[in-house]
Amino acid sequence: MRYLTTDDLRALAIGAAFLGAGGGGDPYIGTLMARQALTEHGPVAVFDPSEIPDDALCVMSAVMGAPTVLVEKLPEGREQLRALHTLEGHLGHAITHVMCAEVGGLNSTLPIVAAARSNLPLVDCDAMGRAFPELQMSTPTLDGIGAAPMVLADDKGNTVTLDAVDNHWAERIARSVTVDMGASAFIALFAQSGSQVKQSMIPGTLRLAQRIGDAVIDARLRKDDAVAAAIAASGGFRLFSGRIDDVERRTEAGFARGAVSIVGIGDDSGRSLDVRFQNENLIAQLDDGRVLATVPDLVVLLETETGQPVTTEELRYGYRVTAVGVPCDRRWRTPAGIELVGPRYFGLDRDYVPVESLMEGDAP
């Protein structure tokens, strides 16, 4: 067990934005909220999955919806607690631990707010090892664990409790409700026992995020290459460096969809990279058609100068960015994992090839 304090938030925000692979929402808002909650309520206890009792009742606290909309709706934390308490009432058992649904901007920091304000410990784990746009894209789904019963709460006071036959139905109904609720909703979901958490969640992702964030901050202080530091800390690969030439973006059925075009600089002069996204980055493809990385591996865009991860809603013409590819959790590389979150699910007409294999093809 360790304690998470306001001192940890800066590194965590950077690392979580990195692992968010372009999605997960604006880390700044989540960090502000977490700072305020930790200041008011004190540090939050964080347990590794191996440290929690098998009969613990762990619940994910998250926000669902298009991050572009959420930026304009600064939440207060009250809705998060209403979602958790409503689920607790529905389950008829006290929730003992809060968890992250994904590691990515807002959804890494908002559970800290929920934990602080409800005086519950966090478990250091998440269900994606990155961020994904749909809620069934969670490792517990691979083990047949239900996202539902789940609760959605909005800022107007509406609360919806959903019992779904499977996690695709949970996603579908919850997505419609989220759109009605103003395109974003606070959710409590994937209630699991401690033993299920040990089996089905991805452990240590908060610690990994902090390590990546610390590496970036250290490199900046030492005037080192912060991008290289982030790559080393994450086990990733440098894919491409350039300047953003074009961003196409639309909010569609509650998702932020679009693509960014990057014109190469330095070693990458004379070619360009196209990155498509649906909340998160999905695929990095050169103008000659060669694919450098696809979901479920992480495609991360970093500000080349500072190593700061750039979320899809922050993409702007003229930014100098470096694209990085990071291997995803091994569970996403199984046939069931690829069916759930592979390229074809996102409408990309290609098979999944791990980023390290694609990189080997790149070697001279």
DSSP letter for each residue of 166-214: SHHHHHHHHHHHHHHTTSEEEEEEEEEEHHHHHHHSEETHHHHHHHHHH
CA pair distance 196, 198, nearest whole angstrom: 5
Q: Which stretch binds a copy of itself (CB under 8 A): 41-49, 153-161, 253-261, 334-342?
A: 153-161
User: Given candidates 10, 85, 90, 333, which one binds a copy of itself under the rule CB under 8 A?
Assistant: 90
User: Given candidates 72, 94, 144, 157, which one binds a copy of itself under the rule CB under 8 A?
Assistant: 157
57 and 137 Cβ atoms separated by less than 8 Å:
no
CA pair distance 96, 123, nearest whole angstrom: 10
Q: Which CB, 159 or 306, lies closer to a copy of itself?
A: 159
Query: What is the number of residues in the chain?
Result: 364
User: Given candidates 113, 164, 183, 247, which one binds a copy of itself under the rule CB under 8 A?
Assistant: 164
Please state, as a whole number, how many other Cβ atoms lie within 10 Å of the Cβ of residue 172: 15
Q: Residues 62-81: x/- map of binding to a copy of itself (CB under 8 A)?
A: --------------------
Q: Is 253 in the site for a copy of itself (CB under 8 A)?
A: no
Q: Is 263 in the site for a copy of itself (CB under 8 A)?
A: no
Q: Is 248 in the site for a copy of itself (CB under 8 A)?
A: no
User: Given candidates 48, 169, 217, 245, which one binds a copy of itself under the rule CB under 8 A?
Assistant: 169
User: Given candidates 40, 54, 55, 163, which one binds a copy of itself under the rule CB under 8 A?
Assistant: 163
For residue 249, which of 186, 309, 311 has the smallest C-alpha distance?
311
Q: Which CB, 151 or 227, lies closer to a copy of itself?
A: 151
Return the half-sphere exposure (C-beta side, CA atoms, 13 A cut-off) of residue 165.
1
Site residues (vs a copy of itself, CB under 8 A): 86, 90, 156-165, 169, 172-173, 176-177, 179-181
